Amino acid sequence: MIDLHLHSSYSDGILNIKELSKKIVNAGICYCSITDHDNIDGVDEMADILQKSKVYFINGVELSTLYKNQEVHLLIYNFNLPAAKKLFKKETDWLRAKKLKN
């Protein structure tokens, strides 16, 4: 079994990474990806937990964007994690500065 569209409590999921990882293993899933909305906060944690299992983990994220004034969700997989962390940090810093300015 494969599930490449999972959400944790880092976005709109109910389960935290540890609980979600346990369910993945118990369900017999062989390949999975966490695709939380607009963040990669749980990727390292899930990768570490699943490394001890037979589950092949693929990093992922579900980015929200606009296309012709409509919200669109874009699933992205197997990206360069260190580069993505830098990008998300820059975006977070920019948004925080913008909120402080307003």
Q: What is the DSSP string of 18-77?
A: HHHHHHHHHTT-SEEEE--BT--TTHHHHHHHHTTSSPEEEEEEEEEEEETTEEEEEEEE
State the pLDDT confidence band at 93, using cuts at 50, 70 and 90. low
Question: 2-101: what fold?
Answer: TIM Barrel (3.20.20)
Percent of the chain residues topping a pLDDT of 70: 89
Output the average pLDDT for the chain: 91
Q: Which stretch of DSSP H or E encloses residue 2?
A: strand 2-6
Q: What is the pTM of this model?
A: 0.83
